[in-house]
A and B are shown apart, each in its own frame.
Chain A
Amino acid sequence: MNAYTGQIVNFFAALLLLIAFAMLAQRRIISLINLFALQGLALVGSTLTVALATAQTHLMYSAAITLVLKVAVLPYILHRLIRRLNVKWDIETLINIPTMMLIGIGLVIFAFNLALPISQFSASIARGTLGIALACVLLSFLMMITRSKAVPQVIGFLAMENGLFFAATSATYGMPMVVELGIALDVLVGMVILGVFMFQIREQFDSLDIHHLEKLKED
Chain B
Amino acid sequence: MDALPPLLLLFVCPLAGSLALALLGAGNRAPELNVAFSLATFAASVWLTVDIISGGSVVVFDDQFFVDPLNVFLVALTAFVGLTTSLFSRPYMRIERERGRMTAGRLRLYHSMYQAFMCTMLLALTTNNMGILWVAMEAATLATVLLVSVYRTAASLEAAWKYFILCGVGIAQALFGTILLYFAAERVLGAEGNALLWTHLNLVKGHLEPAIMSLAFVFLLVGYGTKVGLVPLHNWLPDAHAEGPTPISAVLSGLLLNVALYCVIRMKVLTDGALGTHFAGNMMMGFGLLSVVVAAFFLSRQKDIKRMFAYSSIEHMGLMTFAFGMGGPIANFAGLLHMTVHSLIKSAIFFAVGHAAQKAGTQVMEDIRGLMKQSPTVGWGLLLGTIAILGMPPFGVFASEFLILTTAMREHAWATPFLLLALGVAFAAVFGRVQSMVFGDSSVKPLAHQPALVPVFVHLGLGLMLGLYIPPYLARWYEQAAKLIG
Q: Do A and B come from one complex?
A: yes
Report A's interface with B, CB cutoff 8 A. Answer: 114, 117-118, 121-123, 134, 137, 141, 144, 150, 153, 157, 160-161, 164, 167-168, 171-173, 175-179, 182-183, 185-186, 189-190, 193-194, 196-197, 200-201, 203-205, 210, 212-216, 218-219
Is the Cβ of B145 less than 8 Å from the Cβ of A177? Answer: no
Task: Name the segment of B35-43, B134-142, B198-206, B266-274 touching the other chain.
Answer: B134-142
Task: Name the segment of B68-76, B182-190, B466-474 touching the other chain.
Answer: B182-190
Task: Name the segment of B19-27, B172-180, B382-390, B449-457 touching the other chain.
Answer: B172-180
Contacts of B179 in A (CB 8 A): 164, 167-168, 171-172, 175
Is the Cβ of B182 less than 8 Å from the Cβ of A178? Answer: no
Is the Cβ of B135 less than 8 Å from the Cβ of A216? Answer: no
Query: Considering only CB atoms, which chain A residue lies closest to B123 in the complex?
Result: A182
Is B66 in the interface zone, CB < 8 Å from A? no
Closest chain-B Cβ to A107's Cβ sits at a distance in Å of: 14
Contacts of A175 in B (CB 8 A): 131, 178-179, 182, 196
**Chain B interface, >50% SS class:** helix
Query: Considering only CB atoms, which chain A residue lies closest to B175 in the complex?
Result: A164
Closest chain-A Cβ to B129's Cβ sits at a distance in Å of: 7
Is the Cβ of B180 less than 8 Å from the Cβ of A216? Answer: no
Given contacts A118-B180, A153-B165, A183-B135, contact A193 B211 (CB under 8 A): no
Closest chain-B Cβ to A125's Cβ sits at a distance in Å of: 13
Given contacts A118-B211, A173-B191, A185-B135, contact A178 B129 (CB under 8 A): yes
Contacts of B129 in A (CB 8 A): 176, 178-179
Query: Considering only CB atoms, which chain B residue lies closest to A166 in the complex?
Result: B179
Q: Bound complex: CA of A178 vs CA of B161, how far in Å? A: 29
Task: Report how many A-B pairs have Cβ atoms within 8 Å.
Answer: 140
Is the Cβ of B165 less than 8 Å from the Cβ of A186? Answer: no
Is the Cβ of A178 less than 8 Å from the Cβ of B132? Answer: yes
Given contacts A118-B212, A197-B160, A197-B164, contact A219 B183 (CB under 8 A): no
Is the Cβ of A197 less than 8 Å from the Cβ of B145? Answer: yes
The 8 A CB mask of B202-216 against A (1 = contact, 0 = none) is 000000010110010
Contacts of B153 in A (CB 8 A): 204
The 8 A CB mask of B285-308 against A (1 = contact, 0 = none) is 000000000000010010100000
- Which one of A144, A164, A205, A219 contacts B154 once the chains associate, using CB atoms below 8 Å? A205
- Which one of B157, B168, B195, B209 contacts A190 once the chains associate, using CB atoms below 8 Å? B168
Q: Bound complex: CA of A194 vs CA of B243, how far in Å? A: 18
Closest chain-B Cβ to A5's Cβ sits at a distance in Å of: 18
Contacts of A123 in B (CB 8 A): 186-187
- Which one of B131, B146, B194, B212 contacts A197 once the chains associate, using CB atoms below 8 Å? B146
Is the Cβ of B172 less than 8 Å from the Cβ of A171? Answer: no
Closest chain-A Cβ to B231's Cβ sits at a distance in Å of: 13
Is the Cβ of B183 less than 8 Å from the Cβ of A176? Answer: no
Given contacts A144-B165, A164-B172, A178-B193, contact A190 B142 (CB under 8 A): yes
Is the Cβ of A219 less than 8 Å from the Cβ of B303? Answer: yes
- Which one of B138, B211, B298 contacts A121 once the chains associate, using CB atoms below 8 Å? B211
- Which one of B139, B175, B191, B211 contacts A189 once the chains associate, using CB atoms below 8 Å? B139
- Given contacts A185-B135, A194-B164, A219-B303, list 13 more A-B pairs with CB under 8 A: A121-B183, A121-B212, A137-B172, A144-B165, A150-B161, A168-B179, A175-B179, A176-B131, A178-B132, A182-B135, A193-B164, A201-B161, A216-B155
Is B158 in the interface zone, CB < 8 Å from A? yes
Is the Cβ of A172 less than 8 Å from the Cβ of B191? Answer: yes
Is the Cβ of B183 less than 8 Å from the Cβ of A172? Answer: yes
Closest chain-A Cβ to B248's Cβ sits at a distance in Å of: 15
Given contacts A121-B211, A210-B161, contact A171 B183 (CB under 8 A): yes
Interface centre among A173, A185, A200, A216 (most CB of B within 10 A): A216
Which B458-478 residues have C-beta < 8 A from chain A? none
Is B401 in the interface zone, CB < 8 Å from A? no
Is B87 in the interface zone, CB < 8 Å from A? no
- Which one of A118, A137, A173, A216 contacts B215 once the chains associate, using CB atoms below 8 Å? A118
Given contacts A123-B187, A167-B179, A197-B164, contact A216 B131 (CB under 8 A): no
Is the Cβ of B182 less than 8 Å from the Cβ of A204? Answer: no
Contacts of A150 in B (CB 8 A): 161
Q: Bound complex: CA of A176 vs CA of B169, how far in Å? A: 22
Q: List 21 A-B contacts (CB under 8 A).
A: A118-B209, A137-B172, A157-B165, A157-B172, A164-B172, A171-B182, A171-B183, A172-B191, A178-B132, A179-B129, A179-B134, A179-B196, A183-B134, A186-B138, A186-B142, A189-B142, A197-B160, A213-B162, A214-B158, A215-B154, A216-B243
The 8 A CB mask of B395-420 against A (1 = contact, 0 = none) is 00000000000000000000000000
Contacts of B211 in A (CB 8 A): 117-118, 121
Closest chain-A Cβ to B423's Cβ sits at a distance in Å of: 21
Q: Bound complex: CA of A183 vs CA of B176, how far in Å? A: 12
Is B149 in the interface zone, CB < 8 Å from A? yes
Is the Cβ of A215 less than 8 Å from the Cβ of B158? Answer: yes
Interface centre among B194, B211, B243 (most CB of A within 10 A): B211
Contacts of B154 in A (CB 8 A): 204-205, 212, 215
Q: Bound complex: CA of A216 vs CA of B307, how far in Å? A: 11
Is B378 in the interface zone, CB < 8 Å from A? no
Is the Cβ of A219 less than 8 Å from the Cβ of B169? Answer: no
Interface centre among A137, A160, A186, A194 (most CB of B within 10 A): A186
Is the Cβ of A114 less than 8 Å from the Cβ of B193? Answer: no
Contacts of B194 in A (CB 8 A): 176
Closest chain-B Cβ to A11's Cβ sits at a distance in Å of: 22
Contacts of B164 in A (CB 8 A): 193-194, 197
Closest chain-A Cβ to B399's Cβ sits at a distance in Å of: 32
The 8 A CB mask of B98-142 against A (1 = contact, 0 = none) is 000000000000000000000000000000010110110011001
Given contacts A176-B193, A183-B135, contact A204 B157 (CB under 8 A): yes
Is the Cβ of A172 less than 8 Å from the Cβ of B182? Answer: yes
Is the Cβ of A182 less than 8 Å from the Cβ of B165? Answer: no
- Which one of A157, A178, A185, A189 contacts B169 once the chains associate, using CB atoms below 8 Å? A157
Q: Bound complex: CA of A216 vs CA of B142, how far in Å? A: 21
Is B373 in the interface zone, CB < 8 Å from A? no
Contacts of B155 in A (CB 8 A): 215-216
Is the Cβ of B149 less than 8 Å from the Cβ of A176? Answer: no
Closest chain-B Cβ to A54's Cβ sits at a distance in Å of: 10
Is the Cβ of B301 less than 8 Å from the Cβ of A179? Answer: no
